[in-house]
C-alpha cells in the first residue's frame, strides 16, 4: 500500500532531532552531576520488552581502536513516561558508566554499596521494588527520584530550557503482528517457569507470578520457553 507523504514531512529530521537531544542530555548531566569526567557514550534505542534501558561498557569500537560504552533506552515507554522519568533512566545508566570508569563495579550483576551511595548522592534512591523501602543493593535494583535532589533540580533546569524528546512510540501505527509485539502466554498457576532477561539473556527459575528484574540491565525478565 502506497502512503502519500506531506511535503512538510519531507523536511523533518527525526534521527537528528532525537540523537542531538540525547547527546545534549548526556553532556549536560555529565557536567552537572559527574564533573564532566565521563567519556561520551553511544546512545542507542533498543525496543526490548520489559526494560527501560541498560548500560554495556565498551560495546562499540571504531577502526582506530577507540572504544565507546553503550547506553540503551527503550522508546516503547517514552509515550507513557514523563520526560523526567526518561532522563532518570538515562542518568541511572550513566551511574553504571561512572562506576565502570571511576569506581569498582560489583562482581557479576551485583549492585554494590558504592553504586548505591553514588545513586543516593545524585538523588536517585536505589530500591529493588522501585518504591520507598526497597533494598538498595543486590542483583536487581531499580530507583525512584528524590524530590529536590541533585538530579531532580538538574532535570528541572534542563527541561526548563525547553529540552524534550519529541519522538515517541506510536503503537497505533505499528503493524499488527510485528516482530516482538506479542506478549508471551501466561503460564499455568503453580508452575515454576524459566525467566530470561531480554537484554543479556540471563536465566532464572521462579514461580509464574513473580516479577524479576535483571540488575545489570535494569530490565524486567520475561517468561521463556
Whether the Cβ atoms of residue 71 and residue 38 lie closer than 8 Å to each other: no
Please, what is the average pLDDT of the chain?
85
- 59: which residues sit within 8 A by CB, 6+ positions away? 42, 68, 69, 70
Q: What is the mean pLDDT of residues 123-138?
A: 95
Q: What is the pLDDT confidence band of residue 3, given thresholds at 50, 70 and 90?
A: low
- Between the ranges 75-84, 105-114, 187-196, where is the mean pLDDT highest? 75-84
Q: What is the pLDDT confidence band of residue 150, given thresholds at 50, 70 and 90?
A: very high
Report pLDDT digits (tens) over 172-225. Answer: 655 544 443 333 434 444 556 666 776 677 777 776 556 677 777 666 676 654
Report pLDDT digits (tens) over 11-41. Answer: 899 999 999 999 999 999 999 999 999 999 9
Torsion of CA 45, 201, 84, 16, to 10 degrees: -10
Grid coordinates standing for 168? 515517541
Amino acid at each position: 500500500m502506497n502512503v502519500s507523504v506531506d511535503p512538510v514531512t519531507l523536511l523533518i529530521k527525526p534521527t537528528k532531532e532525537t540523537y542531538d537531544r540525547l547527546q545534549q542530555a548526556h553532556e549536560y548531566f555529565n557536567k552537572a552531576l559527574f564533573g564532566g569526567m565521563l567519556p561520551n557514550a553511544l546512545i542507542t534505542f533498543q525496543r526490548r520488552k520489559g526494560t527501560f534501558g541498560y548500560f554495556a561498557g565498551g560495546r562499540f569500537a571504531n577502526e582506530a581502536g577507540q572504544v565507546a560504552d553503550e547506553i540503551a533506552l527503550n522508546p516503547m515507554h517514552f509515550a507513557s513516561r514523563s520526560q523526567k522519568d526518561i532522563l532518570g533512566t538515562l542518568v541511572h545508566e550513566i551511574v553504571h558508566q561512572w562506576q565502570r570508569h571511576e569506581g569498582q563495579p560489583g562482581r557479576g550483576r551485583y549492585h554494590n554499596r558504592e553504586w548505591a551511595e553514588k545513586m543516593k548522592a545524585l538523588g536517585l534512591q536505589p530500591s529493588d521494588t522501585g518504591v520507598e523501602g526497597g533494598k538498595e543493593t543486590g542483583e536487581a535494583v531499580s530507583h525512584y527520584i528524590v524530590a529536590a535532589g541533585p538530579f531532580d533540580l538538574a532535570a528541572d533546569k534542563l527541561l526548563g530550557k525547553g529540552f524534550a524528546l519529541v519522538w515517541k512510540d506510536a503503537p497505533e501505527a505499528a503493524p499488527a503482528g510485528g516482530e516482538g509485539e506479542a506478549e508471551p502466554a501466561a503460564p499455568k498457576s503453580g508452575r515454576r517457569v524459566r525467566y530470561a532477561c531480554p537484554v543479556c539473556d540471563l536465566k532464572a527459575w521462579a514461580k509464574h507470578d513473580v516479577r524479576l528484574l535483571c540488575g545489570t540491565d535494569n530490565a524486567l525478565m520475561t517468561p521463556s520457553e
